[in-house]
Chains A and B, each alone.
Chain A
């Protein structure tokens, strides 16, 4: 009930895209990049997504499309191969930028290891309040990006997206992070920042609740019922996003 292409889009823009947020939130990640020259890594998946990650000043930025002038290029012959990179079953071979292999082996791998620690967090790690908050924020960004990827690529996700009218949906954790889902002609784009205004809004009451939702410990309908999730505005947008959200869990399981 999932497909490799959608998963590749989630893995690239959701998982590797979360490196942007990791570098903002985590000192260990920043430390890894400290003093390093700017470097860009292009990823191109045949029959799937492509993007460029640029590391500069201890920060990371992702842009859509594999830039021609990237320093390192990682081509993948299929979505399955690229998904293997994320699973740890495939070792990437650069087609360009061999001199930067040390960066790939040390910094890039180091960053993805830290990211994995946060995204596949152990119960023990989550007992630490600071870790818990960072981990949940990173999950939040991953999930909000995955919503758009599923809406645009997955067959059932596209069915749900077909019922979403144009406009801005704000997804937020109260007193914490916020993301924008911009919908135009049923095509979704996630922007990892708070919108200026919205047509509909879904707000999780606390970071603890968001975590419980992400971990599948509570159900969103039940939370809407008890008011711990608030929704406002054009509810049919949120209603359909919630259906897509069900599929996020399937892809990230």
Chain B
């Protein structure tokens, strides 16, 4: 097990390195850069900067150096915890990221938990009572849930929230807690707002997981050992839960790798619609304004979040399923 963990941890380094190169390439793609957009703004104010000023500015952002060197500066600074300065928000990127990363993380993780909590009982029920009315209802809901874009769900839920409760359901805090310091009341207030994005983000993956669990469990339930156990008089609940479910539940962990990127994507989209203070809206802002230091850092953090999440799920799977360790 230790060697497995070690090899996976070492494998993380090239993965993240490749990702950082990809992201650096992406943020370099747009025409123009920090300096040209700064100059544009100055020009809009009627200020004509001197040639020396421009040179200084380019040197300040390392733009006068070779592309590879620029990447190394960027990556090096990122590693040492300096993510640069956002000229749109006129604040260090570090502050902006730390402010919001926690919310992104809490919505994504709670959506993952929601996925499991919902998919487990429904998947078991659908498999055990195959072709019952409940099964048809649940599989239909799952099909629709898989096909509905998260932003559409968010709009519909916000509308329903408005209709039924007469409250605006956007945001992550009530107005009185918006800018307040952290307190018990603020945590409770956040949890009261968190459930809606959690449900919306998690619904698609819940549908996905439920379908897999149902299919796996159906395969398992027809196996001879289940028939034997039934013939020997094992009760219906124990019969299902003791072995078939334990085997069919494997994808709950192994599919985190598939689900997590989708959850992070969905979270970004839903946050944009619902106006949540997470990374998603910040990313859109930074992209629209070509604030590439900020955009690059945000993309990098989303990637790190996903990669580390997948690593954890792989380790968990190796711990649960010994076959993987010895591969």
Task: Tell whether A and B belong to one assembly.
Answer: no
